[in-house]
Amino acid sequence: MPALAPKSAVRDQTVAPDVATEVPPWIARASRTQPTSKLPERRRRTLSRQPFWLLPVGLGMILMLGIVIVGSVVLGWAQTVSDDLHYGRPRTFQMDAFVGHETGSTPSHFIALNLQGQIEIIELPGGDATHARMYVGPHIYGPGADLVPVTVRFVEGVQPHHPDMLILFQNTQVVFHNAGGTFAPAPHT
């Protein structure tokens, strides 16, 4: 063999096949009708276990529903007991205020009552029970109407040093205007 081969000559060299570029042989896919490998068996086992994980979830949901129901009953009972301690039965609220109906330096005493759903306000002007006045407020309807606490608050009215009376119950307020020695319900608008 000569030492140098001509560059224009084509050499016949056999090249080893590249394993990375080689295409794997084609394998036929199993049809759906033929029972084959363990894959469908594994799916059957998974499906048969699904209802068992639903059992703890369902029991947890039932337990939470029970806790919510019992909790709402206990909170309602606790609210009633708290109102019994603060307002008694029948629901009663008392306060003293200067409303311009006094003759001396003693404030008027007000007692707000919820008697079986009927709101009544008793005023003792200057603390004098001989000149007591009673104001009938609205009637409360619905279940537990006799257990609704009623409170009274006084706000500046039209006349100076003669505040108007607000009767507060169930997120509602009713205004009684101070009308020179007495209170009168505000006209409905």
Is residue 175 domain-shared with residue 97, that is, in the same domain?
Answer: yes
Question: 177 phi and psi, to 5 degrees?
Answer: -80, 145
152 has which bridge partners? 167
> What's the pLDDT score for residue 187?
82
Pair 98, 136 in one domain: yes
Q: Is residue 71 part of a domain?
A: yes
Same domain, 44 and 115: no
76 and 113 share one domain: no
What is the reported pTM?
Answer: 0.64
Dump the DSSP string for 113-142.
EEETTEEEEEEEGGG-GGG-EEEEEEEP-S
Asked whether residue 118 is domain-assigned, the answer is: yes
Residue 121, beta-bridge partner list: 112, 135
User: Is 22 part of a structural domain of the chain?
Assistant: no
Question: Domain range for residue 179?
Answer: 91-185
Q: Is the pLDDT of residue 65 over 60?
A: yes
Residues in the chain: 189
Nearest Cα residue to 165 out of 124, 127, 110, 113: 110
Could you tell me if 80 and 117 lie in one domain? no
Minimum mean pLDDT among 12-16, 40-44, 146-150: which range?
40-44
DSSP 40: H
Domain assignment present for residue 44? The answer is yes
In DSSP terms, which residues pair with 34 in a beta bridge? none
pLDDT digits (tens, 9 = 90+) for 137-185: 999 999 989 999 999 999 987 777 889 999 999 999 999 999 878 999 9
